[in-house]
């Protein structure tokens, strides 16, 4: 409204001013001085009114720009909040995958991991297949600081290669443990002494005993390389390791056992060790996807990091899901109330298809 008034003033004043200028040009003498003063006064009035209008326009433009910037900032903040909500409602997430190599499929695996934005990555062994650590360490550089490894059979091809990996990741032993919020992780090695007389066994037993009693720990997850149970075609399970450690997993209520070596994805039901037939663990819950206070450990093979794929035979009775010929990662989320755990096998590629999903709910630590 004010801007319209200024335009009206211009329309009225300009003709008057030109009339005065014409009138002023027909006179001379002392009156010229007064007329000239009036003439300059009129010009000043016009200039001032124009400057006021220009200032008003600039202020309106600035307000519009400020409003636009504020709106953009609000949109960005909204998108950020939505992104955080979508990442969910979880305390944290982590990724696990093994049998990487240094291929284009491995690069796709890395992209998949980065998109999940995990707090850390569990590399389940067999990292590089060319006898050197360099290519794999260079490839994972974007996630190296949050990667934790276990030693696979390809890492012990030479003592130098094993030391290169262990030195890079600051490992004194091939077995270790750590906590992340309400989850305890135990890394074991199938590539060093593991019998009941070994230092590794003593460490594992003491570690599991301690954290199974910890009131702040709701979940126990073990990871290693050679797989203990699976439906492989022509690749044998690590039976000695299984006979030694699965009873420990039962005793101390291990929730998940993450493994590689077999280049497929496979998930078992919650199972316990079978003393009568070690090849046939006892299924404790045959629900395909949802487990409430399960009594046994779920074994997950995730050898899908990028090395050449392998095949599965028909799934064994203890196995609920098997995927061959696809590369991808296992993404685990611990939800905000700390009791549900959600696992997803996410295939590589733009679509990031969720090919398998399961959920464990705990009401207590029985």
Identify whether residues 9 and 40 lie together within a single domain.
yes
**Quick one: pLDDT at residue 335?**
79
With a cut of 60, say whether residue 57 has pLDDT above it: no
State mean pLDDT over 215-230: 96
Identify whether residues 297 and 340 lie together within a single domain.
yes
233 pLDDT tier (thresholds 50, 70, 90): confident
Domain residues for the domain of 109 are 89-361
Neighbouring residues of 156: CB distance < 8 A, sequence distance ≥ 6:
162, 191
CA distance 213 to 255: 14
Identify whether residues 160 and 216 lie together within a single domain.
yes
Identify whether residues 33 and 124 lie together within a single domain.
no
Identify whether residues 67 and 96 lie together within a single domain.
no
State mean pLDDT over 144-162: 97
Neighbouring residues of 49: CB distance < 8 A, sequence distance ≥ 6:
6, 9, 10, 13
pTM above 0.75, yes or no: yes
Lowest-pLDDT range, 50-59, 212-221, 324-333? 50-59
Identify whether residues 79 and 136 lie together within a single domain.
no
Identify whether residues 57 and 186 lie together within a single domain.
no
Looking at 83, 99, 130, which one is the last position of a domain? 83
Identify whether residues 134 and 234 lie together within a single domain.
yes
38: in domain: yes
Identify whether residues 103 and 139 lie together within a single domain.
yes
In this structure, what CATH number is given to the domain that contains residue 108?
3.60.21.10
Looking at 56, 83, 110, which one is the last position of a domain? 83
354: in domain: yes
Identify whether residues 44 and 106 lie together within a single domain.
no
Neighbouring residues of 105: CB distance < 8 A, sequence distance ≥ 6:
305, 306, 327, 348
72 pLDDT tier (thresholds 50, 70, 90): low
Would you call 119 exposed, middle or buried from its count of C-beta atoms within 10 A (0-12, 13-18, 19+)?
middle
Cα-flanking dihedrals φ and ψ of residue 278, to 5°? Answer: -65, -20
Q: What is the 3-state secondary structure (H, E, C) of the chain?
A: CHHHHHHHHHHHHHHHHHHHHHHHHCCCCHHHHHHHHHHHHHHHHHHHHHHHHHHHHHHHHHHHHHHHHHHHHHHHHHHHHHHHHHHCCEEEEEEEECCCCCCHHHHHHHHHHHHHCCCEEEECCCCCCCCCCHHHHHHCHHHHHHEEECCCHHHHCCHHHHHHHHHHCCCCCCCEEEEECCEEEEECCCCCCCCCCCHHHHHHHHHHHHHHCCCCCCEEEEECCCCCCCCECCCCCCHHHHHHHHHHHHHCCCCEEEECCCCCEEEECCEECCCCCCCCCEECCCCCCEEECCCCEEEEEECCCCCCCCCECCCCCCEEEEECCCCEEEEEEEECCCCEEEEEEEECCCCCCEEEEEEEECCCCC
Looking at 83, 112, 132, which one is the last position of a domain? 83
Share of the chain above pLDDT 90, in %: 71
Count of domains forming the chain: 2
Identify whether residues 308 and 248 lie together within a single domain.
yes
**Quick one: pLDDT at residue 364?**
61
What's the mean pLDDT when you consider all of the chain? 83
pLDDT higher at 66 or 179: 179
366: in domain: no
**Quick one: pLDDT at residue 73?**
57
336: in domain: yes
Identify whether residues 129 and 250 lie together within a single domain.
yes
28: in domain: yes
Q: How many CB atoms lie within 10 A of CB 269?
A: 24
126: in domain: yes
36: in domain: yes
State mean pLDDT over 19-36: 40
**Quick one: pLDDT at residue 46?**
38
With a cut of 60, say whether residue 223 has pLDDT above it: yes
Cα-flanking dihedrals φ and ψ of residue 290, to 5°? Answer: -125, 125
**Quick one: pLDDT at residue 339?**
73
CA distance 332 to 352: 15
Cα-flanking dihedrals φ and ψ of residue 56, to 5°? Answer: -65, -45
pLDDT tens sequence across 287-345: 999 999 999 999 999 999 999 999 999 999 999 999 999 999 999 999 766 579 999 99
């Amino acid at each position: 409204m004010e801007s319209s008034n200024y335009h009206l003033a211009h329309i009225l004043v300009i003709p008057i001013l030109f009339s005065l200028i014409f009138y002023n040009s027909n006179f001379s003498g002392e009156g010229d001085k007064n007329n000239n003063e009036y003439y300059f006064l009129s010009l000043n009035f016009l200039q001032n009114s124009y400057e006021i209008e220009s200032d008003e326009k600039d202020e309106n433009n600035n307000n519009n720009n400020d409003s636009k910037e504020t709106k953009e900032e609000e949109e960005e903040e909204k998108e950020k909040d939505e992104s955080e909500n979508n990442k969910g409602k979880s305390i944290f997430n982590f990724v696990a995958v093994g049998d990487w190599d240094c291929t284009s499929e491995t690069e796709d695996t890395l992209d998949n991991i980065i998109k999940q934005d995990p707090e850390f990555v569990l590399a389940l062994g067999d990292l590089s297949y060319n006898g050197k650590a360099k290519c794999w360490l260079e490839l994972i550089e974007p996630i190296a600081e949050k990667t934790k490894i276990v030693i696979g059979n390809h890492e012990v091809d030479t003592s130098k290669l094993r030391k290169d990996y262990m030195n890079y990741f600051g490992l004194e032993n091939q077995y270790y443990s750590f906590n992340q919020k309400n989850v305890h992780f135990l890394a074991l090695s199938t590539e060093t002494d593991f019998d009941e007389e070994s230092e590794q066994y003593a460490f594992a037993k003491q570690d599991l005993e301690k954290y199974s009693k910890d009131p702040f720990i709701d979940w126990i997850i073990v990871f290693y390389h050679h797989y203990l149970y699976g439906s492989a075609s022509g690749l044998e399970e690590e039976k000695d390791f299984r006979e030694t450690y699965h009873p420990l997993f039962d005793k101390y209520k291990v929730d998940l056992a993450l493994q590689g070596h077999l280049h497929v994805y496979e998930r078992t039901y919650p199972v316990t060790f079978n003393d009568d037939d070690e090849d046939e663990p006892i299924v404790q819950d045959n629900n395909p996807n949802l487990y409430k206070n399960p009594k046994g450990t779920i074994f997950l093979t995730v050898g899908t990091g990028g090395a050449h794929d392998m095949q599965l035979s028909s799934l064994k009775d203890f196995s609920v899901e098997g995927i061959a010929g696809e590369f991808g990662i296992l993404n685990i989320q611990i939800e905000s109330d700390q009791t549900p755990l959600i696992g997803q096998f996410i295939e590589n590629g733009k679509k990031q298809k969720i090919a398998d999903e399961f959920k464990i709910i705990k009401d207590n630590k029985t």
